[in-house]
Amino acid sequence: MVSTTAPNRTGGMVPGPEALPQVLPTDRLLASGKAVPEVRAELRHVASVRNAFTVAALWLMIVALWAAAVWVHNPLGYAALFVLMGPMFARLAILGHEAAHRLLFRNRTANDFVGRWLLDFPAFVPFDVYRRVHFAHHKDEFGPHEPDIPLYSGYPVASSSWRRKLVRDAVGISGWKNLKPLLKAMTSKTSRPFAARILGVQLVLWAGIWILTGHWWLYPLCWLGPWMTVWRVLNRLRAIAEHGGMERSDDRRRTTHAIRQSWSARFWIVPYRTGWHLAHHVDMGVPWRNLPRYHRELEASGWVTPALEHASYRAFWKACASGAS
């Protein structure tokens, strides 16, 4: 296949037919890859109490990082906080994603309240808008209403193009591209309520940080700054590892990558087991805690093969940057 950077070229990283054996259905999986009802019921169990502790633990971790940096109060401490807020935004986003799927709490009121006010709004995400466009993504990956096709298409790209994308993320160009629509939404009567809630939460965070630390500049430096830069890099690396270079298909193995997980990747870019993303797209009703178990079901059936899986994220990103100049 001739490599090109045409923005909507898809399929450049789809695995070959030898990696896609047709082995379904089995006694435990349907032809679609979803589990049979008696297996699916257990896989779809939402652990509400445990998830409440997970959300609380995340905020305790964020507060502890900030407290440590303020206590040290030197450039190295604040630099460490700046970098580590990247994976903290990843955690806010992934748990917000669970809430968007209504998989964080069985009680829908609690699920949406926590998803909006404790997870997505602090991470600049309009919860209800995200839910709507994200479900369009799941309904038909790479279809005509795919909201993220500019992000996923065109791979593999030339190494120079790959570097340019990451540099734009790292210096805040992509961050500003994401922040600007939120600010402009304040001028629209229909969009203002969504934007006002997010910006209101950000003002509360800024005021709280200022009051507790005595430093007005800490919010723009160590909250907004990492969201504009570090998180943008991590988010691109994760998103491309999920769907980069794939294509529209009823076979989710052709729409979503499978990459072997490591502890370092789970810390930096794919927390809360979101790296088992193929399983998530085969059945988006399976909560994050059960994705590894579901992935093992797909492996045991022979539907997910070693030939399908990328050995590591580093190997995958290298393949992403292997296109012709």
In a domain, 10, yes or no: no
The answer to whether the peptide bond before residue 156 is cis (omega within 30 degrees of 0) is yes
Does residue 12 lie in a domain region? no
pLDDT at 9: 87
Number of Cα atoms under 13 Å in the Cβ half of residue 195: 15
Specify the pLDDT at position 311: 96
In whole angstroms, give the CA distance from residue 248 to residue 18: 19
Q: What is the pTM of this model?
A: 0.95
What is the per-residue pLDDT across 156-170, written as a single tens digit (0 to 9) for each? 999 999 999 999 999
**244, 152 in Cβ contact below 8 A?**
yes
Residue 275 counted as domain residue: yes
CA–CA gap between residue 321 and residue 325 (Å, rounded):
10
Residue 107, domain member (yes or no): yes
Q: Which long-range contacts (CB under 8 A, 24 or more apart) does 276-282 make?
A: 277/241, 277/242, 278/252, 278/253, 278/304, 280/256, 281/138, 281/141, 281/252, 281/255, 281/256, 282/32, 282/33, 282/34, 282/252
- For tokens 């502790």, the residue is 53
Angle at 8 between CA 4 and CA 10, to 5 degrees: 75
User: Is 7 part of any domain?
Assistant: no
> Which backbone phi and psi does 259 adopt, to 5 degrees?
-130, 135
What is the residue type of 184? K
Position 57: which residue type? A
Q: With beta carbons less than 8 A apart as the criterion, state whether 318 and 160 touch.
A: no
Please state the domain count of the chain. Answer: 1
CA distance 33 to 297: 9
Question: Which pLDDT score is estimated for 309?
Answer: 96
Q: Is residue 3 situated within a structural domain?
A: no
Domain that holds residue 188: 26-320
DSSP-based helix, strand, coil % in the chain, nearest 5: 65, 0, 35
Q: CB of 50 within 8 A of CB of 230? A: no
Residue 265 domain-assigned? yes
What are 131's two structure tokens? Answer: 């839910």
Number of other CB atoms surrounding residue 298 within 10 Å: 25
How many C-beta atoms surround the C-beta of residue 60 within 10 A? 10
Cis before 25 (ω within 30): yes
Partner residues linked to 29 by β-bridges? 35
10-residue mean pLDDT series, the chain (325 residues): 55 95 97 96 97 98 98 97 98 98 98 98 96 94 91 95 97 96 94 95 98 97 98 97 96 97 97 98 98 98 96 96 86
pLDDT of residue 1: 34
Q: Calculate Rg over the CA atoms of the chain.
A: 20
pLDDT in tens, 56-97: 999 999 999 999 999 999 999 999 999 999 999 999 999 999
Please give the pLDDT value at position 7. 55
In the numeric block, which tokens belong to residue 99? Answer: 């809430």
**Contact (Cβ atoms closer than 8 angstroms) between residue 199 and residue 182:** yes
Q: How many angstroms separate the CA atoms of 71 and 69, rounded?
A: 5
Q: How many CB atoms lie within 10 A of CB 143?
A: 12
Give a yes or no: residue 170 inside a domain.
yes
Query: What's the rounded Cα separation, in Å, for the pair 182 and 178?
Result: 7
